[in-house]
A and B are shown apart, each in its own frame.
Chain A
Amino acid sequence: MAERRFSFFTPGQYAVLALLAATPFIDLAFPSIQLSGPMRTVVVYAILALGLNVVVGWTGLLNLGIAAFMAIGAYAFGILTAEIYPFQVGFWWALLLSGAIGAFAGWLLGAPTLRLRGDYLAIVTLGFGEIVQDGLKNLQTITKGTEGINPLPKPTIPFGAHIDAALSKVGVGSAATTDSAGTTATTALSATESVAGALPRWFDISSETPARWFYLYLILLAVVICLCRNLEFSRLGRQWFAVREDELAARCMAIEPDKAKLKAFAAGAALAAVAGALFASHLASTGEPANYDFQVSILALCIVIVGGIGSITGVVLGAIVMVGLSNVVLPALTQAMQRAGIGSTENVLSSPDNYKYLIFGLALVLMMRFRPDGIVHTRKAVKK
Chain B
Amino acid sequence: MTETEVFLQQVIYGLSNGMIIALVALGYTMVYGIVELINFAHGDVFTLGGFLALTLVGALGAAAILDPNTLGDSSHWLLLVGLVVTAGIFCGFLNVAIDKVVYKPLRRAPKLTQLVAAIGVSFILVNIALFWGGAPMEVFGGGNAAAASKDFPEILEGSNLLGEDSNVVLRLEDLAIFAITIPLMIGLTLFVNRTRLGRGMRATAQNPVAARLMGINTDRVISATFLIGGFLGGAASVMWAIYNNTISFQMGFRAGMDAFTAAVLGGIGSLPGAMIGGVLIGLIRAMSDQYIETRWTNVVVFAVLILILVFRPSGLLGLKQREKV
Contact = CB atoms under 8 A, between A and B. Distances in A.
Is there a direct interface between A and B, measured as CB atoms under 8 Å apart in the complex? Answer: yes
Contacts of A113: 306, 309-310
Contacts of A118: 111-112
Contacts, number: 131
B143 A364 contact: no
A195 B163 CA distance: 86
A357 B143 contact: no
Interface in B285-309: 295-296, 298-299, 301-302, 305-306, 309
Nearest to B321: A117
A135 interface: yes
B131 A348 contact: yes
A200 B166 CA distance: 78
A358 B127 contact: yes
A355 B131 CA distance: 9
Interface in A52-68: 56, 60, 62, 64
Contacts of A363: 120
* Among A116, A135, A137, A365: residue with most chain B CB under 10 A: A365
Given A365-B121, A368-B120, A138 B305 contact: no
Given A127-B302, A134-B298, A348-B146, A357 B124 contact: yes
Contacts of A356: 127
B111 A365 contact: no
Contacts of B109: 368, 372
Interface string B263-304: 010001000000000000000000000000001101101100
Nearest to B306: A112
A325 interface: no
A234 interface: no
Given A365-B117, A369-B106, A123 B38 contact: yes
Contacts of A369: 102, 105-106, 117
A358 B325 CA distance: 41
B257 interface: yes
A115 B313 contact: yes
B63 interface: no
A361 interface: yes
A57 B275 CA distance: 35
A354 interface: yes
Interface in B135-164: 143-144, 146
B116 A364 contact: yes
Interface residues of B, number: 50
Contact of A119 (B38, B128, B257, B302): B38
Contacts of B295: 134, 137-138
Contact of B299 (A135, A354, A361): A135
Interface in B85-125: 102, 105-106, 109, 111-117, 119-125
B17 interface: no
A357 B126 contact: yes
A348 B268 CA distance: 38
Given A60-B112, A138-B295, A248-B323, A364 B305 contact: no
Majority SS at the chain B contact face: helix
Contacts of B253: 294
B181 interface: no
A56 B131 CA distance: 32
Interface string A348-384: 1100001111101111111011001000000000000
A347 interface: yes
B233 interface: no
B51 interface: no
A343 B264 CA distance: 45
B118 to A, nearest CB: 9
Contacts of B298: 130-131, 134
B258 to A, nearest CB: 10
B14 interface: no
A96 interface: no
Interface of B: 36, 38, 102, 105-106, 109, 111-117, 119-128, 130-131, 133-134, 143-144, 146, 253, 257, 260-261, 264, 268, 295-296, 298-299, 301-302, 305-306, 309-310, 313, 321, 323, 325
For the complex of A and B, the 8 pairs showing the least CB-CB separation, nearest first, are A364-B120, A361-B123, A348-B134, A361-B124, A365-B120, A357-B127, A358-B127, A348-B146
Given A348-B134, A354-B130, A362-B124, 15 more contacts: A60-B112, A113-B306, A117-B313, A120-B268, A123-B257, A130-B302, A346-B144, A348-B131, A348-B133, A355-B127, A360-B120, A361-B126, A362-B120, A365-B102, A369-B117
